[in-house]
């Protein structure tokens, strides 16, 4: 570093006056008139902003922090110079004219400071870096905690917010579903639902076949707490599974002012269960020893888990084998199969389809609900049959409901004796025309043959697609030998005429006519009363509406169901099952035919509004649970009532036809259905409804003719539309613009 403080010649030097500076300087003493030595030192700021300290003899550079002199130079020939030695890469204190040695003093820095300087690595990495760089340091006596690392690397708080635990038993219940189990129980259970009391940690467990049973079990458990413990359930805690979020479940909790919070972390992983010990002590009392030798008698702990298998319908052969009643039923079925010569044991030919088989168990009950008999049926797995190889034709006719009601009305009119015949093992009487092979029945394999032998079926077998048709052909071909002839109007109605009278036989699969001992038939001196009370009770219990409030009508007046009305129903299969059951109930309840017809139109995509309409029908049945049809003696006079709702369906503008046919005072036939085409006027809709009712009357009169029962009075059809009546009586006219849409 050099400072040039001498001009080239004193003659050329001139002064520059500046009022903004502290002092003026010159390096030529001859320019001063009065010069005195300066004993102190001053800091001079160069035009570039560089500062240094100087006096009359030289200048030096100091450390700002320590104040020590780093470099010093003297003025020679008007220049301040610092000697530089090429052997040293940088100026050192040795360059000073003062011949002395310097020693820098300091103390080793601890690892905590180096940890911060290096950007907060781990302690191991910090120590390794210092050792590798040969930098002296001092280790911390006490391992310090870096708060910056804790705050920067912490993802979330280490502890949850404190929760308040219930202090009163049975106020807060935790509920959860486990399953499915890899092994199904004997009764078919593969799930279980647990209820844990938050206060006492007492636990209840209920096995389930499927998750749909959670609602019914929860309702039962709630009623159990209220009845047995007078408990007031305030909070029902669950994990928010689909079985808890149904509209029916939430409505049940809301109606009882029960909270159902969802506080479970949605990111919960099943691996967390591995750290949980799923065991609870069964006996919290200390063990009592009997002697000093340590011999003890453990306190007995047992729970009654036995189930009477004779009262349930087993779903597997293993479960049925544990009950003597079901074992006896299976032996009876096998003996009947052998007595009928149902099959022959043969080796399976090559390229032949093999049909499996399984056991099906049913309990038949009396009208009072008591057990009548145990029925074990060996059925073939017909779904594995191939059309054109194992079967061809499958259709089998059954008697029509109108025919059944007509026969009942005639029986009440003429006081005929009614009986019911149930053909035992009916399908086994049919003869197979096809070549069908089936596996041997489970539990009854023939030990005299090898496992390669199978059953070559000779008779029609339950479960085969062609079995109903084979039985029907065999039975209907046998009846003519007894003098019975099939009706032209209904092929399942057989009539025998003789000098002694007329015998009528109705065939519905393997059931023949009806009798007073039937569970749905009540005989009295004044006639016959047919009802489906037991079926209605079972249906209401199935949908948990046995305690519902009855409705006065099955549907609201002038209310029509829309195709896209509200949200889709989450369980469409349940909707189809309930509506199918309601269709069966129309056999004895004509007043629900229209409402059921509306509900049937949305089987493919039911909405929540449609479910509400179906529940209204069920609530109406709750109030009319003992209703039925009363057949009593009256005049043999056929009359029908016809009506139509023009453009009654807002979805496609098609009209709805309805009719009911009476024999005397007893209804025997009715229907409510949409017309196939769109009617352009109310007259056209009513006329089509009249045509449908007239066709039904003509068919019923044919039944009377086949049974040789004379009708002395012409049949009447009642209609409330004058235009339709005029059109039906005058073939010339045609539906005009009356009430045209």
DSSP code for 388: T
Residue 301 vs residue 424, higher pLDDT: 424
Residue 370 pLDDT: 80
- Whether residue 533 contacts residue 572, with contact meaning beta carbons closer than 8 Å, is answered with no
Question: pLDDT per residue over 206-256, tens digit each?
Answer: 999 988 899 999 989 998 988 888 888 888 888 888 888 888 888 888 877
**Parallel, antiparallel, or unpaired: how do β-strands 371-380 and 357-365 relate?**
antiparallel
Q: How many domains does the chain have?
A: 5
Q: Cα dihedral angle (202, 207, 213, 216), rounded to 10 degrees?
A: -50
**Parallel, antiparallel, or unpaired: how do β-strands 638-645 and 716-718 relate?**
parallel
* pLDDT exceeds 90 at position 638: yes
In the chain, % of residues over pLDDT 70: 77
Q: How far is CA 387 from CA 434, 436, 439, 458, in A?
A: 11, 12, 19, 18
Q: How confident is the model at residue 675 (pLDDT cuts 50, 70, 90)?
A: very high
* pLDDT exceeds 90 at position 412: no
- Residues 455 and 489 placed together within one structural domain of the fold: yes
Residue 522 vs residue 340, higher pLDDT: 340
CA distance 489 to 400: 10
Q: How confident is the model at residue 315 (pLDDT cuts 50, 70, 90)?
A: confident
Q: Which of 164, 258, 267 is nearest to 218 (CA)?
A: 258
Residue 597 vs residue 274, higher pLDDT: 597
Residue 430 vs residue 519, higher pLDDT: 430
- Whether residue 191 contacts residue 208, with contact meaning beta carbons closer than 8 Å, is answered with yes
- Residue 741, in any domain of the structure: no
pTM across the whole model = 0.49
* pLDDT exceeds 90 at position 147: no
Mean pLDDT of 612-633: 91
Within the chain, what is the greatest distance between any pair of CA atoms? 174
Does residue 269 sit in helix, strand or coil?
A: coil
Q: How confident is the model at residue 294 (pLDDT cuts 50, 70, 90)?
A: low
Mean pLDDT of 663-677: 92
Element (H, E) at 470: helix 467-478
* pLDDT exceeds 90 at position 528: no
Residue 34 vs residue 19, higher pLDDT: 34
Residue 19 pLDDT: 66
Q: How confident is the model at residue 292 (pLDDT cuts 50, 70, 90)?
A: low
Q: How confident is the model at residue 732 (pLDDT cuts 50, 70, 90)?
A: low
Mean pLDDT lowest among 293-307, 364-378, 642-656, 692-706: 293-307
Residue 15 vs residue 253, higher pLDDT: 253
Residue 94 pLDDT: 41
CA distance 240 to 260: 9
- Whether residue 197 contacts residue 169, with contact meaning beta carbons closer than 8 Å, is answered with yes
- Residues 471 and 490 placed together within one structural domain of the fold: yes
Residue 76 pLDDT: 67
Q: Which of 698, 556, 720, 716 is nearest to 645 (CA)?
A: 720
Long-range contacts, 447-456 (Cβ 8 Å, 24+): 449/345, 452/347, 452/348, 453/345, 453/346, 453/347, 453/348, 454/345, 454/346, 454/347, 454/348, 454/354, 455/342, 455/343, 455/344, 455/345, 456/343, 456/344, 456/345, 456/346
Q: Which of 499, 524, 549 is the last residue of a domain?
A: 524
Q: Which of 95, 121, 143 is the last residue of a domain?
A: 95
* pLDDT exceeds 50 at position 10: no
Q: How confident is the model at residue 516 (pLDDT cuts 50, 70, 90)?
A: very low
- Whether residue 488 contacts residue 700, with contact meaning beta carbons closer than 8 Å, is answered with no
- Residue 11, in any domain of the structure: yes
Q: Which of 427, 441, 426 is nearest to 331 (CA)?
A: 441
Q: Which of 366, 357, 363, 389 is nearest to 376 (CA)?
A: 363
* pLDDT exceeds 80 at position 182: yes
- Whether residue 385 contacts residue 465, with contact meaning beta carbons closer than 8 Å, is answered with yes
Please list the residues that pair with 110 across neighbouring strands: 138
Residue 741 pLDDT: 38
CA distance 305 to 298: 21
CATH of the domain at 200: 3.30.420.10
Q: How confident is the model at residue 592 (pLDDT cuts 50, 70, 90)?
A: very high
Residue 699 pLDDT: 93
- Residues 652 and 573 placed together within one structural domain of the fold: yes
* pLDDT exceeds 90 at position 593: yes
- Residue 279, in any domain of the structure: no
Q: Is 410 exposed, middle or buried (0-12, 13-18, 19+ CB in 10 A)?
A: buried
Mean pLDDT lowest among 148-152, 326-330, 393-397: 148-152
Q: Which of 467, 436, 466, 470 is nearest to 454 (CA)?
A: 436
- Residue 120, in any domain of the structure: yes
- Residues 568 and 620 placed together within one structural domain of the fold: yes
Residue 227 vs residue 154, higher pLDDT: 227
Query: Could you tell me what percentage of the chain is helix, strand and coil, using 3-state DSSP and rounding each to the nearest 5?
Result: 30, 20, 50
- Residue 432, in any domain of the structure: yes
Give the range with max mean pLDDT: 9-23, 104-118, 254-268, 492-506: 492-506
- Residues 149 and 179 placed together within one structural domain of the fold: no
Residue 41 vs residue 657, higher pLDDT: 657
- Residue 213, in any domain of the structure: yes
* pLDDT exceeds 80 at position 429: yes
Average pLDDT, the chain: 80
Residue 260 pLDDT: 65
- Residues 89 and 129 placed together within one structural domain of the fold: no
Residue 614 vs residue 255, higher pLDDT: 614
- Residue 248, in any domain of the structure: yes
Residue 450 pLDDT: 81
Q: How confident is the model at residue 358 (pLDDT cuts 50, 70, 90)?
A: very high
Q: Alpha helix (H) ranges present in 549-607?
A: 572-585, 593-600
* pLDDT exceeds 50 at position 523: no
- Residues 238 and 372 placed together within one structural domain of the fold: no
In the chain, % of residues over pLDDT 90: 26
Q: How confident is the model at residue 79 (pLDDT cuts 50, 70, 90)?
A: low
Residues in the chain: 741
- Residues 341 and 390 placed together within one structural domain of the fold: yes
Q: Which of 492, 509, 524 is the last residue of a domain?
A: 524
* pLDDT exceeds 90 at position 499: no
- The domain of 129 spans 109-153
Mean pLDDT lowest among 39-53, 186-200, 339-353, 423-437: 39-53
- Whether residue 377 contacts residue 362, with contact meaning beta carbons closer than 8 Å, is answered with yes
CA distance 111 to 109: 7
Element (H, E) at 717: strand 716-718
Residue 489 vs residue 518, higher pLDDT: 489
- Residue 167, in any domain of the structure: no
Question: pLDDT per residue over 540-590, tens digit each?
Answer: 999 999 889 999 999 988 888 898 888 899 899 999 999 999 999 999 999
Task: Find how far residue 42's CA is from the centre of its chain.
Answer: 92
Q: Alpha helix (H) ranges present in 22-175?
A: 111-117, 123-133, 147-153
The CB density around residue 279, as the number of other CB atoms within 10 Å, is 6
Q: What angle in degrees, to the nearest 10, is found between the helix axes of 593-600 and 608-623?
A: 160
User: Which positions ≥6 away from 55 have C-beta within 8 Å?
Assistant: 38, 39, 40, 41, 42
Give the range with max mean pLDDT: 13-27, 125-139, 398-412: 398-412
Which is it for the CA torsion 248, 249, 252, 257, positive or negative?
Answer: negative
CA distance 233 to 257: 9
- Residues 113 and 70 placed together within one structural domain of the fold: no
Q: Alpha helix (H) ranges present in 75-213?
A: 111-117, 123-133, 147-153
Q: Alpha helix (H) ranges present in 90-170?
A: 111-117, 123-133, 147-153
Residue 739 pLDDT: 42
Residue 201 region by backbone torsions, left for phi larger than 0, else alpha for psi between -120 and 50, else beta: left
Q: How confident is the model at residue 360 (pLDDT cuts 50, 70, 90)?
A: very high
- Residues 676 and 713 placed together within one structural domain of the fold: yes
Residue 307 pLDDT: 56
Q: How confident is the model at residue 8 (pLDDT cuts 50, 70, 90)?
A: very low
Q: What's the angle, vertex CA 674, arms to CA 669 and CA 677, rounded to 5? A: 130
Q: Which of 692, 702, 669 is nearest to 493 (CA)?
A: 702
* pLDDT exceeds 60 at position 276: no
Mean pLDDT lowest among 264-278, 280-294, 416-430, 443-457: 264-278
Across 209-316, the runs of DSSP E, i.e. the strands, are: 235-237
Q: How confident is the model at residue 652 (pLDDT cuts 50, 70, 90)?
A: confident
- Whether residue 534 contacts residue 519, with contact meaning beta carbons closer than 8 Å, is answered with yes
The CB density around residue 545, as the number of other CB atoms within 10 Å, is 15
Residue 19 vs residue 688, higher pLDDT: 688
* pLDDT exceeds 50 at position 90: no
- Whether residue 531 contacts residue 626, with contact meaning beta carbons closer than 8 Å, is answered with yes
Residue 131 vs residue 263, higher pLDDT: 131
Mean pLDDT of 642-647: 91
Mean pLDDT of 376-400: 88
* pLDDT exceeds 70 at position 600: yes
Residue 725 vs residue 263, higher pLDDT: 725
- Residues 662 and 724 placed together within one structural domain of the fold: yes
* pLDDT exceeds 50 at position 446: yes
- Residues 474 and 558 placed together within one structural domain of the fold: no
Please list the residues that pair with 192 across neighbouring strands: 178, 207
């Amino acid at each position: 570093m050099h400072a040039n403080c001498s001009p080239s010649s004193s003659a050329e030097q001139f002064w520059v006056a500046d009022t903004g500076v502290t002092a003026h300087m010159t390096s030529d003493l001859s320019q001063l008139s009065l010069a005195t030595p300066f004993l102190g030192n001053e800091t001079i700021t160069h035009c570039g902003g560089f500062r240094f300290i100087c006096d009359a003899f030289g200048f030096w550079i100091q450390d700002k922090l320590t104040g020590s002199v780093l470099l010093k130079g003297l003025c020679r020939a008007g220049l301040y110079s610092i000697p530089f030695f090429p052997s040293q890469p940088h100026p050192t204190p040795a360059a000073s004219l003062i011949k002395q040695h310097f020693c820098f003093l300091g103390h080793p820095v601890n690892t905590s400071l180096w940890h911060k300087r290096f950007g907060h690595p781990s302690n191991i990495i910090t120590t390794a870096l210092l050792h590798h760089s040969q930098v002296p340091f001092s280790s911390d006596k006490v391992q310090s905690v870096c708060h910056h690392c804790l705050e920067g690397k912490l993802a979330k708080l280490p502890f949850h917010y404190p929760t308040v635990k219930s202090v009163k038993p049975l106020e807060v219940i935790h509920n959860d579903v486990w399953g499915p189990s890899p092994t199904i129980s004997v009764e078919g259970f593969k799930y279980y639902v647990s209820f844990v009391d938050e206060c006492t940690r007492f636990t209840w467990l209920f096995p389930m076949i499927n998750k749909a049973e959670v609602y019914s079990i929860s309702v039962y458990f709630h009623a159990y707490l209220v009845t047995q413990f007078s408990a007031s359930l305030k909070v029902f805690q669950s994990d928010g599974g689909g079985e808890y979020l149904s509209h029916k479940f939430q409505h049940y909790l809301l109606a009882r002012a029960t909270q159902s919070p969802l506080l479970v972390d949605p990111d919960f992983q099943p691996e967390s269960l591995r750290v949980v010990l799923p065991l609870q002590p069964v006996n919290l009392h200390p063990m009592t020893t009997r002697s000093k030798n340590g011999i003890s008698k453990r306190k007995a702990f047992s729970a009654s888990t036995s189930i009477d298998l004779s009262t349930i319908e087993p779903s597997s052969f293993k479960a049925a084998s544990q009950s003597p009643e079901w074992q006896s039923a299976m032996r009876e079925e096998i003996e009947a199969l052998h007595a009928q010569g149902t099959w022959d044991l043969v080796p399976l030919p090559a390229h032949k389809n093999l049909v499996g088989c399984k056991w099906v168990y049913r309990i038949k009950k009396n009208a009072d609900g008591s057990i009548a008999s145990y029925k074990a049926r060996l059925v073939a797995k017909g779904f594995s049959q191939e059309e054109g190889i194992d079967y061809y034709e499958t259709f089998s006719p059954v008697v029509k409901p109108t025919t059944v009601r007509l026969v009942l009305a005639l029986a009440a009119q003429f006081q005929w004796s009614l009986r019911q015949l149930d053909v035992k093992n009916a399908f086994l009487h049919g003869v197979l025309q096809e070549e069908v092979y089936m596996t041997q029945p489970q539990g009854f394999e023939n030990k005299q043959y090898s496992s390669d032998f199978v059953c070559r079926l000779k008779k029609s077998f339950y479960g085969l697609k062609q079995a109903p048709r084979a039985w029907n052909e065999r039975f209907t071909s046998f009846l003519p030998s007894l003098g019975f002839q099939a009706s032209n109007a209904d092929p399942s109605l057989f009539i025998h005429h003789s000098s002694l009278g007329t015998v009528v036989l109705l065939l519905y699969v393997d059931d023949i006519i009806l009798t007073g001992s039937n569970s749905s038939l009540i005989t009295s001196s004044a006639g016959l009363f047919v009802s489906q009370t037991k079926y209605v009770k079972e249906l209401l219990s199935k949908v948990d509406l046995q305690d519902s409030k009855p409705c006065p009508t099955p549907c609201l007046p002038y209310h029509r169901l829309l195709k896209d009305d509200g949200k889709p129903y989450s369980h469409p299969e349940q909707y189809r099952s309930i509506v199918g059951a309601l269709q069966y109930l129309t056999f004895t309840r004509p007043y629900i035919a229209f409402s059921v017809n509306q509900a049937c139109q949305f089987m493919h995509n039911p909405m929540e509004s449609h479910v509400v309409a179906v529940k209204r029908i069920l609530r109406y049945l709750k109030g009319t649970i003992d209703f039925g049809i009363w057949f009593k003696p009256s005049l043999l006079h056929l009359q029908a009532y016809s009506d139509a709702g023009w453009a009654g369906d807002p979805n496609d503008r098609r009209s709805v036809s309805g009719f009911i046919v009476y024999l005397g005072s007893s209804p025997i036939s009715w229907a409510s259905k949409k017309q196939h085409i769109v009617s352009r006027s109310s007259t056209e809709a009513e006329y089509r409804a009249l045509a449908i009712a007239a066709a039904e009357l003509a068919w019923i009169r044919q039944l009377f003719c086949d049974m040789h029962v004379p009708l002395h009075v012409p049949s009447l059809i009642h209609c409330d539309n004058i235009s339709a009546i005029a059109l039906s009586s005058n073939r010339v006219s045609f539906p005009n613009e009356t009430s045209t849409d």
